[in-house]
Structure 1
Amino acid sequence: MKVGFIGTGSMGSLLIDAFLSSGALEPCDVLAGNRSQAKLLQLQERHPGLSIGSNREIAAGSDILFICVKPLEFKTLTEEISGSLHSEQIVVSITSPVMLYHLESALPSKIAKVIPSITHSVKSGTSLCIFGSRLNKKDRLLLLHLLSFIGVPLEIQETHTRIASDFSSCGPAFISYFIERWIEAAVEATGIEEALLTRLAGEMLLGTGKLLTEGGFTPQELQERVAVRGGITAEALNHLRTSLDGVFERLITTTHEKYDEDVEKLDILFGAGGIIQAPLDR
């Protein structure tokens, strides 16, 4: 099975590295295309045996093709590669505002959308999977099996793409910002070493994640278990509840507004303005 990648920037190269280091693929299974020849040569040097080529060559030679470019680059790219694709290939977009109907209207192939996460670089986290109407059960299982090597693949509704991505894909940035500010305040207040707190925070996040995914706890139950009434944790939690009032609602509004804006621009590019869409989940 040949797996191609058009776009080898931050996420495209991360996926290639993760699939290869996990053993899901061998370098001889991978084809890569990018506007920057220098980036392709660096990738090939890092993974001897990996094939590089033009976008059309990568499209024609792939059984599964991951498209890892920016949203507004999709229309031009689909026009370039459409003639190189056929109905039995699987094309996977990793870009959340690019809708299934955009790609199914432009390409003859089976279409899926997978939203990956930076956590795949350590074989962790979830990949969000949205399957188009042309994929059969065998196609879905093939994609799920491939993605299982680098994390936990979860099938979701396309209307939930943005809110689910806030947690799985944007979440590492949001949580790390919270941790960063907490560490900065602690270092300033006590003089403790930043590296020590970073290690403590990382191990705490790993353990908390396991409690939520394997330990049977809900977030509320975990708080109740740790925060003894009248204790230090409970006092600090009350402060957080007051300080963060409205923050998460504004965060969701911000990500959804940007997402809606990108979808509207893509509708215009793909000529999909007349398509009646399901309302985005709020």
Structure 2
Amino acid sequence: MNVGFIGTGSMGTILIESLIQSGALEPDQVVATNRTFNKVQRLASQYPGLHAVTSIEETVKASSIVFLCVKPLEYKKVVEEISAHDRADLILVSITSPVLIHHLEHQLTCKIAKIIPSITNYVWSGASICIYGSRIQTEDRLLLEQLMMSISRPIQIEEQYTRITSDISSCGPAFIAFFVQKWVDEAVLETGINRDEAARLASEMLIGTGKLLTEGGLSLEQLQQRVAVPGGITAEALRLLNEKLDGVFQQLIHVTHAKYEEDLDKVSTLFGNIEVNLNRRQY
């Protein structure tokens, strides 16, 4: 089985490297193309056997599964090229949230899925969000999830929740890193602690917290209760955070959803204003 990649930007490269490094794919099972060909050539030099090709046609013809890893506004042009080599047994996987299953099924006859990865997949961790089109069969779903299971925990969702799940799984690492960066910066300013030491402590704390919430079986609420002794330092700090962060996450969700809807409108226009009966407020 060959797996193709159209687009080897940041996320396309992360998927290729993590799938190879995890052993899910051998380099000679990977076929990749990119508008800037030297990016694919660099990957081929790092992973001998990887097939660097110059066209979408070559990628589609040589692959059983093709991951489409381009920007939303590039999809229409790429899909038009794919349509010339479309076939019923091909599985096309979009990794971009504003491009809907309906957009792609309207243009192509192949099997369509959407899998939204996370930067955490690079270290074979985190989730991958899975959404399946009407032509995906049980064996196709199992094939895709087996592939992604080597670098993530595949979680199937309904497409109407694409945006909010992407906020948590894909954008979340950046949000958490921003929070920790601000915390570390202030710790350095207020106390003079070495920045690298503080950052290392915070990073180890994140790893341990994640394990407590997964392997340790604690819920978010239980973890807070176990650490925060009534009347203690942690409890006082949590009170402050609760007060100061009131409304922040509601605003964050509104901002990400507004941007998503803007992108969705642009993509829908490119695809001919295809009507989509999804409740946008739940994205």
Note whether the superposition's TM-score is higher than 0.5.
Answer: yes
Q: Distance in 2 between matches of 1:238 and 1:203?
A: 24
Aligned length: 282
TM value normalised by structure 2: 0.97
Identity %: 54
Aligned 1:145-224 pairs, distance under 5 A: 145-224=146-225
Aligned 1:44-193 pairs, distance under 5 A: 44-53=44-53, 54-193=55-194
8 Å CA contact 1:112, 1:131 repeated in 2: yes
TM value normalised by structure 1: 0.98
Report Cα offsets for 1:173-232 as digits up to 9, x if no partner.
000000000000001111111111111111111111111112222211111111111101
Q: Distance in 2 between matches of 1:18 and 1:275?
A: 34
Q: Distance in 1 between matches of 2:71 and 2:44?
A: 22
Q: For structure 1, which runs of at least 5 residues remain unmatched after alignment?
A: none
8 Å CA contact 2:103, 2:274 repeated in 1: no
Q: Distance in 1 between matches of 2:86 and 2:206?
A: 43
Q: Distance in 1 between matches of 2:204 and 2:48?
A: 35
8 Å CA contact 2:160, 2:278 repeated in 1: no
CA-CA distance at 1:280 after TM superposition:
4.0
Q: Alpha carbons of 1:58 and 1:227: their partners in 2 closer, same or farther (altered >3 Å)? A: same
- Give SS of 2:273's match: coil
Q: For structure 2, which runs of at least 5 residues remain unmatched after alignment?
A: none
Report Cα offsets for 1:83-118 as digits up to 9, x if no partner.
112010100000011100001011111000000000
Aligned to 1:2: 2
- Give SS of 1:170's match: helix
Q: Distance in 1 between matches of 2:217 and 2:27?
A: 39
8 Å CA contact 1:160, 1:280 repeated in 2: no
Q: Displaced runs of 4+ in structure 1, greater than 3 A? A: 272-280
8 Å CA contact 2:261, 2:280 repeated in 1: no
The AA in structure 1 aligned to 2:14 is L
Report Cα offsets for 1:57-88 as digits up to 9, x if no partner.
10121100000000010001001111112010
Q: Alpha carbons of 1:250 and 1:239: their partners in 2 closer, same or farther (altered >3 Å)? A: same
